Amino acid sequence: MNKTDLAVDVFNSLAKEYQDKFMDLSLYHATFDVFCEGILTDQAEILELTCGPGNITKYLLDKRPDFRILATDLAPNMLELARINNPTAEFQLLNCKDLGSLEKSCDGIICGFGLPYLSKDEALQLIADASEKLNPGGILYLSTMEDDYEKSTFKTSSSGFVIFMHYHRADYLTAALEENGFEIIQVTRQDFPEKDGTITTDLIIIARRNAAKTKAALKVVL
């Protein structure tokens, strides 16, 4: 079983538990507000990647009921919960690595903690794909856990499920954004207390697609 299949298996099995733990996203409300306020279009088309149980979807719709959200995930059980939590949104089974194949342009893309399940190359490709899918002036929101990429490893949950977690750094993510025609709006770090007493640093990056859409060659910034 590859890393993606492992992640889908974990999130399908623990969908309800994940919902109960993470529906309260108050730590990140200020960053979601920056995303919402940065989108000036009424009835804006929003694409959400790795939506989970629809916790971010719900906050966005509470803040901006005019948003037309297509929320996507690769775990069917997560999507089912997201539909229940957000009856006015649309949902689709989609691997965020397949963003480039989606026939849709949008005014905003939000990917809350999807990058921990993407390799460095996959994360940089997602940025390039997002640049192509966003309308000029569109907003991209990315969040992940920040640490040296070399520390990426398999983790075992309290329920005994094994999943591979990738850590990422702001330097190569922001460099890739700029190379793909984005202007960085905000880089935020948020401490997240773990059950074992350790602190994880969450990294949130919000960027705007420049009005003049130009293709940029994507390269890995070491």
pLDDT at 219: 37
pLDDT at 1: 73
Give the Cβ contact number of residue 105 at 10 Å: 13
Q: Which domains does the chain have, with CATH numbers?
A: 3-209 (3.40.50.150)
pLDDT at 213: 52
111, β-bridge pairs: 49, 142
- The pair of structure tokens assigned to 81 is 């919960």
pLDDT average, residue stretch 104-128: 97
* Residue ranges with strand state E in 24-178: 45-49, 68-73, 90-93, 106-111, 134-145, 153-156, 162-165
Give the pTM. 0.93
pLDDT average, residue stretch 176-191: 97
pLDDT at 79: 97
Q: Percentage of the chain surpassing pLDDT 90?
A: 82
- The pair of structure tokens assigned to 136 is 């000029």
pLDDT at 198: 87
The rounded distance, in Å, linking the Cα atoms of 67 and 47 is 10
pLDDT average, residue stretch 79-86: 97
